[in-house]
Amino acid sequence: MKLHTKILLTLVALFTLSFAGFEDAQASKAADTDVSYSAVYKVAKQNLGKPYVYGATGPSAFDCSGFTSYVYKKAASVTLPRTAQAQYNAGQKVSYKNLQKGDLVFFGWNAASISHVGLYIGNGKMIDAQNRGVITETVKAPWWNYVGSAHVVNFDSDNDTDD
């Protein structure tokens, strides 16, 4: 391999690696933040019925990741990445059986093609922004292909708000 090709490949690898920890750092910072689940739930519930608009980040309309970003920013001063895929990549993965209220639930074809996110509120339900607006629905609804879940913050001990 020619020297300039090796140098170019090395530079590309270093450039790529320099961004590898960026989203993980956001997730770590968020996961270390103790917040109140009831505050997150309250903000989410206050936005039920608002319309879905692709690319909208609130407060009058939302898309799915705009909704989750808005809720966490407003309730807990936690900044989440803007897209559903980036939120999935940044969060600490948890299995469905270990879901906690306030975790994010993700949908798509697979982990590399996340296209939707919702806020888990317990009992198999989530609040999400989708074509019917901001609504409460079941995580395992037949029109969603559940891919995974992520823990984005540590909640205080008030994780018992019921819907």
Q: What is the pLDDT of residues 76-89, one digit of tens each?
A: 999 999 999 999 99
Instruction: Give the pLDDT confidence of 38-71 residue by residue, as tens digits.
Output: 999 999 999 999 999 999 999 999 999 999 999 9
Round to whole Å and give the CA distance between 100 and 81.
Answer: 20
The one-letter amino acid code at 115 reads: S
What is the tally of helices (H) and strands (E) in the chain? Answer: 5, 8
Considering the candidates 63, 64, 103, 151, report the single residue annotated as catalytic. 64
Considering the candidates 128, 151, 156, 158, report the single residue annotated as catalytic. 128
Closest CA to 120 of 136, 142, 133: 136
Strand partners, 52: 62
Structural domains of the chain, with CATH: 3-155 (3.90.1720.10)
Considering the candidates 63, 103, 116, 151, report the single residue annotated as catalytic. 116
Phi-psi region of 55 (alpha: psi -120 to 50; beta: other; left: phi over 0): left
Strand partners, 146: 107
Q: Which two tokens stand for residue 93?
A: 């993965």
> In the annotation, is 128 catalytic?
yes
Global pTM value:
0.78
Would strands 154-155 and 34-35 be described as parallel, antiparallel, or unpaired?
Answer: parallel
Q: What is the pLDDT of residue 64?
A: 98
> In the annotation, is 24 catalytic?
no
